[in-house]
């Protein structure tokens, strides 16, 4: 948050299957509880610049997010 920042935004689409589009996000403890069970997780990996802060997922944090969410399929996006 701040004068040039906005809150993170992600989507959970529910139907015959459940898809989680994480948007720009970092790894957080409540991720699996907030999202719930999902079939597909679209997780942002990388981002911009050589140094990513805690509000973003590098490859290691994206792998940990996928392990927490336990989707049938995890798709890296935004790299």
The secondary element (H helix, E strand) that includes residue 76 is strand 73-77
Taken in order 45, 41, 31, 2, is the CA torsion positive or negative?
A: positive
pLDDT: which is higher, 53 or 38: 38
Residue 24 DSSP label: S
Taking 90 as the threshold, does the pLDDT of residue 59 lie above it?
Answer: no
pTM above 0.85, yes or no: no
Statement: residue 78 has pLDDT above 90? no
> Residues 59, 78: contact at Cβ < 8 Å?
no
Q: Determine what percent of the chain is predicted with pLDDT higher than 90.
A: 53
- The ranges assigned to domains in the chain are 42-79
Residue 1: what pLDDT?
Answer: 42
């Amino acid at each position: 948050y701040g004068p040039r920042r906005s809150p993170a935004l992600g989507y959970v689409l529910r139907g015959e299957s459940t898809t989680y589009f994480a948007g720009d996000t970092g790894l957080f403890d409540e991720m699996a509880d907030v999202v719930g069970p999902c079939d597909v997780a679209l997780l942002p990996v990388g981002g911009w610049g050589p140094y990513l802060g805690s509000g973003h997922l590098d490859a290691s944090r994206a792998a940990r997010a996928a392990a927490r969410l336990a989707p049938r399929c995890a798709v890296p996006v935004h790299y």
